[in-house]
Structure 1
Amino acid sequence: MRSTRTRAAAAAVTVVIGLGLLAGCNDKASEPFKDARRSGHDNGAPADLIRMPDGFSNAATKCDHGNRIYIAYHGDSAYASIAVVSGDPTCN
């Protein structure tokens, strides 16, 4: 009887630890550059952030080689949206 309780308690602890480890695996902000290979990075000018009220996606914009890039994101969700304005006159 005691060994059954011990096994059940051990199984419950293992499940709780496993769920805790899985919950910590979704923080995309702390996983830099794990999405695609890159040839370098641009730390020159910061991106302009557009912060929306809760429930709406935020956005960031930045110039890259004369093109303006918009990226919409929603916190740590696994999705984002990208738009490019080719030859934007505001980008030098």
Structure 2
Amino acid sequence: MKRIRRSVWAAGVVLLVGGLLAGCSQEYDDERGKGDAPVQGKAGDDTPAEVFNMPDGFGNLATKCVGHGFRAYVTTNATGPSNVQIVEDKTCGG
């Protein structure tokens, strides 16, 4: 009886991990090749960000106001995930 329970438990873990990995492996890639997530109703803030270019091998930095009273800082890097920081910024009114 214990052997069956272990087998069922192991099969459940394999299915769970497999499902998680399958969900993570699907990369969204739009026509611009940016991999941006879709925005419901296409209603978003498309104003440009201020971009600071870094030397080759370093991620570029982009910043802009997001929401009311917050600023986002985002880095890009071709070799890894981007870093995002959102901080309070009183100059970002709304």
TM-score relative to the length of structure 1: 0.53
Q: Structure 1 regions of 5+ residues with no counterpart?
A: 1-24
- CA gap of 1:53–1:68, structure 2 versus 1, over 3 A, is same
Question: Structure 1 vs Structure 2: percent identity of aligned residues?
Answer: 34
The ranges of structure 1 where at least 4 consecutive aligned residues each deviate by more than 4 angstroms after the TM superposition are none
Gaps of 5+ in 2: 1-26
Kindly indicate whether structure 1 or structure 2 has the higher relative contact order, using CA contacts under 8 Å at least 6 residues apart.
Answer: 1
For these two proteins, the number of residue pairs brought into alignment is: 62
- Compute the TM-score of the two structures, normalised by the length of structure 2: 0.52
Match in the other structure for 1:83:
85
What is the CA–CA distance in structure 2 between the aligned matches of 1:61 and 1:54, rounded to whole Å? 19
Q: Larger Rg: 1 or 2?
A: 1
Residue 46 and residue 78 in structure 1: after superposition, are their counterparts in 2 closer, same or farther (change >3 A)? same
Rounded Cα–Cα distance in structure 2 between residues aligned with 1:59 and 1:31? 16
Counterpart CA distance in 1 for 2:58 and 2:34 is: 23
Q: How does 1:48-59 map to 2 (within 5 A)?
A: 48-59=50-61
